[in-house]
Amino acid sequence: MPELPEVETVKRGLGRLLPGLTISAVTHDNPKSFPNAEHDVAQFLLQSKVVDVTRRAKVLMIELSSKYSLVIHLKMTGQLVYRSDTEKFGAGHPNASLIGALPDKSTRVTLMFDNGAHLYFNDQRKFGWMRLIPTAEIPQIDFFKRVGPEPLSDEFTWQVMHGCLLRRKNTNIKAALLDQSVIAGVGNIYADESLWGAKINPTMLVKDVPGKQIQSLHKALRDVLQLSIDKGGSTVQHYVDAEGKPGKYLTFANVFRREGQPCPRCGTIIEKSRVAGRGTHTCPVCQS
């Protein structure tokens, strides 16, 4: 679920809340959350001050004054939720969260800060991870060495995108979009939405997609990612922002999770199938 727009939304929220705070206590379920940790992570984090919060692809980085960074992947069900020492989220409260009292049974890591606030890393399915890595060494980790360009960057022209996609010319266009070494940050939601926008059938092989349609896909992908960031991301089940609130993009979705409903463009009933091992939503007429 957390794809580029969701991780970007969390990054912006934490970027407003965390910098300047010092970590005063840590609880965690090492080694599940901190695989292959070389240090006593909790001890190592104490008295570190948060310097900045950044994002690359679907990965969040909390940069610390110790010259180390917490590198975090939320995978499918991960959440990072900040709560001040006084927040109470009873029903009807204007700041009511999607989730209840924290920590709960999905909480895997808790950071407490010197202002009394807590940051909870919740992750029902335990696919997510955190790593404590020297900030200077982050570009060297395997994932970042292989990951493709940021689709919202100025350098990401349609020609650049075409070149990236052609590295997987014999696979279908949806699998190529989902491949993080081709383009960074695209997941199932925005693959389906952008392919619908460009009127491309997801099973089409990359080498068979004409340049004109790659241009359409480039615009559709950037538009849908930007729209979703503007709406605070997509919430299917688990995703919430740094304050525990769900995203609003899915009310604007054209095909994702809309099987059985009419295509907003032509009225044909949207179908669900399986492409690249994922649930895939298409208009059978627009994307024939």
Partner DNA sequence: CACTTGACCTGTCCGC
Partner DNA sequence: TGCGGACAGGTCAAGT
Catalytic positions, please?
Answer: 2-3, 58, 278
Told to check if 142 binds DNA by CB under 7 A, we report yes
Q: How far is the CB of 169 from DNA (least distance, A)?
A: 5
Compute the half-sphere exposure of residue 35: CA atoms within 13 Å on the CB side of its CA: 7
Nearer residue to DNA within complex by CB, 14 or 178 = 178
CA distance 97 to 5: 20
Nearer residue to DNA within complex by CB, 157 or 170 = 170
* Beta-bridge partner residues of 111: 26, 119
Instruction: Render the burial of 34-55: b for 16+ CB within 10 Å, e for the rest.
Output: beebeeebbebbeebbbbebbb
Told to check if 33 binds DNA by CB under 7 A, we report no
Q: Determine which residue in the list 71, 138, 189, 240 makes contact with DNA, applying CB under 7 A.
A: 189
CA distance 232 to 9: 6
Nearer residue to DNA within complex by CB, 39 or 169 = 169
Told to check if 132 binds DNA by CB under 7 A, we report no
Told to check if 177 binds DNA by CB under 7 A, we report no
- Map residues 146-175 to x or -, x wherever contact with DNA holds by CB under 7 A: x--------------------xxxxxx--x
Q: With contact defined as beta carbons under 8 Å apart, do 38 and 70 qualify?
A: no
Q: How far is the CB of 105 from DNA (least distance, A)?
A: 6
Q: How far is the CB of 15 from DNA (least distance, A)?
A: 20
Told to check if 228 binds DNA by CB under 7 A, we report no
Q: Determine which residue in the list 64, 81, 119, 178 makes contact with DNA, applying CB under 7 A.
A: 178
Q: How far is the CB of 137 from DNA (least distance, A)?
A: 16
User: Which strand (E) or helix (H) includes residue 216?
Assistant: helix 211-230
Q: Determine which residue in the list 51, 222, 278, 284 makes contact with DNA, applying CB under 7 A.
A: 278
Told to check if 131 binds DNA by CB under 7 A, we report no
Reading the block at residue 162, the tokens are 């075409």
Pairing of strands 107-113, 129-134: unpaired
- Map residues 3-32 to x or -, x wherever contact with DNA holds by CB under 7 A: x-----------------------------
CA distance 16 to 18: 6
Instruction: Render the burial of 74-98: b for 16+ CB within 10 Å, e for the rest.
Output: bebbbbbbbbeeeeebeeeeeeebb
> What are residue 188's phi and psi, to 5 degrees?
-60, -40
Told to check if 236 binds DNA by CB under 7 A, we report yes
CA distance 162 to 207: 10
CA distance 207 to 212: 13
Told to check if 188 binds DNA by CB under 7 A, we report yes
Which residue ranges make up the site for DNA (CB under 7 A)?
Answer: 1-3, 57-59, 73, 75-77, 105-106, 124-127, 142-143, 146, 167-172, 175, 178, 180, 187-189, 236, 272, 274, 276-279
